Amino acid sequence: MNTVTHPRPAAAAIRPRRRGQSPARFLIYLFLIFAALLYLLPLWVMVVTSLKTMDEVRASSIFAMPLAPTLQPWIEAWSSACTGLECRGVSVGFWRSVQIVVPSVLVSILIGAVNGYALSLWKPRYGNWIFGLLMIGVFVPAQVLLYPIVMFLSRLELFGTLTGLVVVHTVFGMPIMTLLFRNYYTSLPEELFKAARIDGGGFWRIFWSVMLPMSKPMLIVATIMQVTGIWNDYLMGLIFGGPELAPMTVQLNNIVNSTFGERAYNVNMAATLLTSAVPLLVYLLSGRWFVRGIAAGAVKG
Amino acid sequence: MTTSSPARRRPFNAWLHLAMLPMLITAIVAYLGATVWTFALSFTGSRMFPNSEFVGLLQYRRLFSSDRWSLAVENLAFYCVGSIVLSTLVGFLLAVFMDQKIRSESLFRSIFLYPFALSFVVTGLVWQWMFNPQMGIQAAVRGWGFESFTLDWIVTQEYVMLWVIIAALWQGSGLIMALILAGLRGVDEEIWKAARLDGIPVWRTYLSIVLPMIGGTVGTVLTLQIIGSIKVYDIVVAMTRGGPGLASDVPAKFIMDNIGARANLGQAAAASVVLLLTVIALLVPYYYFTKQQKSKRERAK
């Protein structure tokens, strides 16, 4: 991802690629700006519509600037939009999602890190075998596993509970988290681990005092991946959350797709933006890390 | 690797095995066990709850003679091919343009990539509005004076899948761009110099020299998209709810409906198994291909 990896000063001096091709450069920028506008269009539509009154939405084009911007749709979306069951806005789903995401992210990353640490440094004899089995999870469609997991969880009386959802997110996130940390710990110099062993460190001692403090880059990447992934999840929340723990994505879909009568587009778009706020913030604040995370997960997965 | 030599085999480490327990249970129970269970269910006449009434291949025969299933499979095939081809093309094109040493590269990157931070539910809802004939693009363009402009494909059975593809393209092509761009940055500058000295046009160099060189990245990108697009569910639910009618039904939705509202567990299980076998059939050749390439490269060293 680093744009300055190649030492290119000498090449730039002799390179004829740039020699006065200004029409070509102009076309390159034209293409990129046009493409960028297309990618921004849906966001623009959401933002301007969410700031209009319904009268103005009906009267104006979806692309038009709001004439009299109002925050009323945002307030309504947050605190009083109806899902068909209740009229308490997306704030309910927001807090539920927070409640789900925080423990799920912590548990899934911790277990992934321990797995990766055990596999790459302690090398249990059956490790590769189990790891291979775990990799089934990368390509098996979730639908294949859903019903049996529902049954397992209801047998344990965890179905529809927060613990159950945390377990589900941990189980479905485990392959990629384990892979991420396994690859990272394998890339560290082995002497480090050996030295810690000679100093008499045990399994947990080495993990907590040596390896985990060294894993900051992977911890950041994993947090970004899991926060956005679990926040954006719909399927697991729909099935394992039930009505009590429906996350924000499920609630948003209920609000938008199950209202009767005239649809309040402005409120719906405000609700959609509110639902996207957390992953968008994570994305904008993390910048390079975000790309690095998906690249690490994608390329090696 | 040396630590595992038999002479220095470590004593049994209880903590290590305890730490491996979550992974062991996940791999064996949640992945292997659940897959086997679904496989077994597909040979039973289970309705709302699992039962052990053995019906042989009846569920599969029923599945393959079901019109709804064949439509769902057709839609999925169209969606997979369409979205993979388009996303890869657009992603590659954007990456090539981004690779021209442009200014504000990170701004463009953020713009192309932000939709990837949004969930499929949000993507589906946004594009549902964009394509809504009364409110969306059609109404806006008509408002500009083009009275006969028609863009009502989302309510047209023949074209609805195309809209889903466009929404998915918007959401996912930024990731493809980022991955391919990383691949392009890895290409040796010498290659470019040599091609320029030989007077090969830039576009030829990309197609005939650079593209084959980043074959690994392209393979990863394709695998990711195959795995992702076969699971397609959320975006369809949010955008069209499978409609109009059943025109945008997909296998994942067929399975979910059969588990839930239609209370036909055996049928859902058979459909899941077919979906899983399809994924395996698509990925196994790729796996062997990359393995062969790797061993070839190693032999060449």
Mean pLDDT of chain A: 85
Instruction: Enumerate the β-bridge partners of residue B44.
Output: B54
Which chain A residues are within 8 Å of B189, Cβ to Cβ? Answer: 6, 8, 11
Statement to judge: residues A16 and A107 lie in one domain: no
Q: What is the DSSP string of A120-146?
A: III--TTHHHHHHHHTHHHHS-HHHHH
Note whether A148 contacts B38, CB cutoff 8 Å.
yes
**Tens-digit pLDDT string for chain A (301 aa):** 444 444 444 444 444 455 456 888 889 999 999 999 999 999 999 999 999 998 888 888 888 888 889 999 999 999 888 877 778 889 999 999 999 999 999 999 999 999 999 999 888 888 888 888 888 777 788 888 999 999 999 999 999 899 999 999 999 999 989 988 998 898 888 888 889 988 888 899 999 999 999 898 889 889 988 999 999 999 999 999 888 899 999 999 988 887 666 788 899 999 999 999 999 999 888 877 777 766 665 544 3
Q: What share of chain B has pLDDT > 90, as a percent? A: 38
Interface of A with B in 113-132 (CB under 8 A): 114-115, 118, 122-124, 127, 130-131
Instruction: Enumerate the β-bridge partners of residue A153.
Output: none
* Residue A66 forms part of a structural domain: yes
Statement to judge: residues A126 and A272 lie in one domain: yes
Supply the pLDDT for residue B149: 79
Statement to judge: residues A44 and A106 lie in one domain: no
Give the ipTM.
0.85
* Residue A226 forms part of a structural domain: yes
* Residue A79 forms part of a structural domain: no
Across the interface, of B117, B143, B283, the residue whose CB is closest to A280 is: B117
- Tell me which amino acid residue B235 is: I
Supply the pLDDT for residue B70: 93
Note whether A298 contacts B224, CB cutoff 8 Å.
yes
Tokens standing for residue B190: 């010498």
Report d(CA A183, CA A181) in Å as an integer: 5
Statement to judge: residues A163 and A284 lie in one domain: yes
pLDDT confidence tier of residue B5, bands split at 50, 70 and 90: very low
Note whether A291 contacts B109, CB cutoff 8 Å.
yes
Any idea which fold B69-300 has? MetI-like fold (1.10.3720)
Print burial letters for B121-157: b (CB count within 10 Å at least 16), e (below 16): bbbbbbbbbbbbbebbbbbbbbbeeeeeeebebbbee
Report the chain A residue with the minimal C-alpha distance to residue B41.
A148
Dihedral, CA of residue A294, residue A299, residue B1 and residue B6, to nearest 10: 90
Statement to judge: residues A137 and A13 lie in one domain: no
State the Rg of chain B over Cα: 25
Which chain B residues are within 8 Å of A301, Cβ to Cβ? Answer: 224
Statement to judge: residues A290 and A178 lie in one domain: yes
Task: Assess A142–B contact: CB distance below 8 Å, yes or no.
Answer: yes
Note whether A31 contacts B97, CB cutoff 8 Å.
yes
Statement to judge: residues A60 and A97 lie in one domain: no
Query: Are the beta carbons of A90 and A81 closer than 8 angstroms?
Result: yes
| Residue finishing a domain among A41, A70, A99 | A70
Distance from CA of A130 to the nearest CA of B (A): 6
Note whether A61 contacts B28, CB cutoff 8 Å.
no
User: Domain span at residue A190?
Assistant: 91-300
Dihedral, CA of residue B140, residue B79, residue B290 and residue A128, to nearest 10: 100
Query: How are the residues of chain A apportioned to helix, strand and coil, as percentages rounded to the nearest 5?
Result: 75, 0, 25
Interface of A with B in 242-281 (CB under 8 A): 249, 252-253, 256-257, 265, 268-269, 272, 275-276, 279-280
Supply the pLDDT for residue A234: 93
State the Rg of chain A over Cα: 24
Task: Assess A233–B contact: CB distance below 8 Å, yes or no.
Answer: yes
Q: Where are the beta strands (DSSP E) in B128-282?
A: none
Statement to judge: residues A43 and A192 lie in one domain: no
For residue B179, what are the contacts with CB-CB under 8 A and spacing of at least 6? A295, A298, A299, B91, B217, B220, B221
Supply the pLDDT for residue B155: 73
Across the interface, of A11, A63, A142, the residue whose CB is closest to B189 is: A11
Of A275, A57, A262, whose CA–CA distance to B125 is shortest? A275
Task: Assess B189–A contact: CB distance below 8 Å, yes or no.
Answer: yes
Span B147-166, mean pLDDT? 81
Mean pLDDT of chain B: 86
Report d(CA A289, CA A282) in Å as an integer: 10
Report d(CA A49, CA A66) in Å as an integer: 7
Statement to judge: residues A286 and A248 lie in one domain: yes
Q: What angle do CA A55, A61, A67 make, to 5 degrees?
A: 60
Task: Assess A170–B contact: CB distance below 8 Å, yes or no.
Answer: yes
Tokens standing for residue B118: 């949004």
Number of residues that this document lists for chain B: 301
- Tell me which amino acid residue B116 is: F
Residue B4 has pLDDT above 50, yes or no: no
Q: What is the DSSP string of A157-170?
A: T-TTSHHHHHHHHH
Supply the pLDDT for residue B301: 60
Distance from CA of A82 to the nearest CA of B (A): 16
Statement to judge: residues A180 and A289 lie in one domain: yes
pLDDT confidence tier of residue B266, bands split at 50, 70 and 90: very high
Dihedral sign for Cα B202, B208, B212, B213, please.
Answer: negative
Statement to judge: residues A130 and A240 lie in one domain: yes
Note whether A141 contacts B130, CB cutoff 8 Å.
no
Distance from CA of B158 to the nearest CA of A (A): 22
Distance from CA of B299 to the nearest CA of A (A): 22
Instruction: Enumerate the β-bridge partners of residue B10.
Output: none
Report d(CA B45, CA B270) in Å as an integer: 11
Report d(CA A294, CA A87) in Å as an integer: 37
* Residue A76 forms part of a structural domain: no
Task: Assess A30–B contact: CB distance below 8 Å, yes or no.
Answer: no
Query: Residue A255 belongs to a domain with what CATH number?
Result: 1.10.3720.10
- State pTM to two decimals: 0.87
Tokens standing for residue A16: 């004829």
Statement to judge: residues A63 and A120 lie in one domain: no
* Residue A129 forms part of a structural domain: yes
Residue B284 has pLDDT above 60, yes or no: yes
Helix (H) / strand (E) element for B288: namely helix B265-300
Distance from CA of A89 to the nearest CA of B (A): 16
Angular region, B12: left φ>0, alpha ψ -120 to 50, beta rest = beta
Task: Assess A152–B contact: CB distance below 8 Å, yes or no.
Answer: yes
Q: How many domains does chain A have?
A: 2
Query: Are the beta carbons of B277 and B59 closer than 8 angstroms?
Result: no
